[in-house]
Amino acid sequence: MQIIKENITTSHYRPLETVIVSTDADSASRLVVRDGIGRVYCQQSLQLGAVAQFQVRGAAGQHRVTVEDVSGLVLDEQSCDHGPYADMMMLIQQMIETTDYVGRPWVINGRTYRLLVCWSRDHVYTLKAAKYFVSDVLSGLDYFLDSQLPSGMFWDNIEHNSCYPAPTWWADAIGEGWFKYDDNMKYGVRRIPILADTEYVFTEGVWSAWKASGDDVWMARQLPRLEKALTYMTSDPVRWSTTHGLMRRSFTMDEWDFANPHYCAGDARCIYPEDARFMFHGNQSGLYATYWRMAEMYEYLGNAPRASELREQGEIFRQRANDKLFFVESFE
């Protein structure tokens, strides 16, 4: 079988792109094309020496093109995702689909959640790739979104309590207000105090999952929660510097890790009154992205005034962050 793309400048097939097929199978009778979830969307006659063509339609993913005889026996087949990176993409897909977390449902309080990773940011960042291969991109976020605190803070991590039904040291160790137990002590749920990125990570997660699922109703249901998270990021004294009008955090080696012991009075995951606090540019970038992602979602739902307000607030914040965190010297 030979397949010719309409657009030879890309290795992937765009929606409605025309594909030309020919075959050298003697007993070929028909061409059958299936979309990314296996639905047949094209059937037509195909004889030796003749060509047929179809337009790419249906669900995204790997489309299967088969040449069959009159009895339905497959004589030849190809998948319409071939290109220089096809093998690498297949390896990535296999890696994601065979990961223990991806393949294992989390049943919490009688509800099943598809958590790709038990840490919130790792779930969201893994979702960026997994959304092309997994069907459920919402429920893993739902656990954290549904359990948001009144302050606007999101929990950051959930793990099986290996000491069940007794308490576990790794939850209790970070202090009151930063952990809880769920499902009758079966799970420990934490927010590592020094982590300043969790709220805007979930905004990115909602935005990404909405883009992947097209579920406008689900997205609209999350916006009040994202509003509370935005207020938390920009007002809570743990996260916000009123002096500089920027997000602040402990002096960690990167956006989420442990605090430098020289600048932390105790447990490197926790925050103490005497600890130095810093304005990290990555946190400001995350907050700035939150303004624009929320604006896009509001605008899509028809709330142009709130979208405009968020973009204006974001631009003011961006300018303030650039003025305080960066400088330009003249070398004339």
Q: How many CB atoms lie within 10 A of CB 266?
A: 13
**φ, ψ for residue 44, nearest 5 deg:** -155, 160
Specify the DSSP class assigned to residue 166: S
Q: Are residues 213 and 70 both part of a single domain?
A: no
Q: Are residues 107 and 67 both part of a single domain?
A: no
Residue 308 falls within a domain, yes or no? yes
Domain end, chosen from 43, 66, 84, is at 84
What confidence score (pLDDT) does residue 330 get?
53
Q: What is the pLDDT of residues 88-124, one digit of tens each?
A: 777 777 777 766 555 578 999 999 998 988 999 999 9
CB 127 within 8 A of CB 116: yes
Least Cα distance to 138 among 123, 160, 155, 157 occurs for 123
pTM of the model: 0.75
What confidence score (pLDDT) does residue 99 get?
64
Q: Are residues 117 and 203 both part of a single domain?
A: yes
Q: Are residues 108 and 68 both part of a single domain?
A: no
For position 22, which CATH number holds? Answer: 2.60.40.1930
Q: Are residues 65 and 22 both part of a single domain?
A: yes
Domain end, chosen from 35, 59, 84, is at 84
Range of the domain at 235: 93-156+191-325
Q: Which amino acid, 220?
A: A
Domain end, chosen from 84, 102, 126, is at 84
Residue 168 falls within a domain, yes or no? no
Overall number of domains in the chain: 2
Q: Are residues 257 and 316 both part of a single domain?
A: yes
Q: Are residues 80 and 97 both part of a single domain?
A: no
Q: What is the pLDDT of residues 201-236, one digit of tens each?
A: 999 999 999 999 999 999 999 999 999 999 999 999
Largest CA distance in the chain: 82
From CA 116, how far away is CA 126, in angstroms rounded? 7
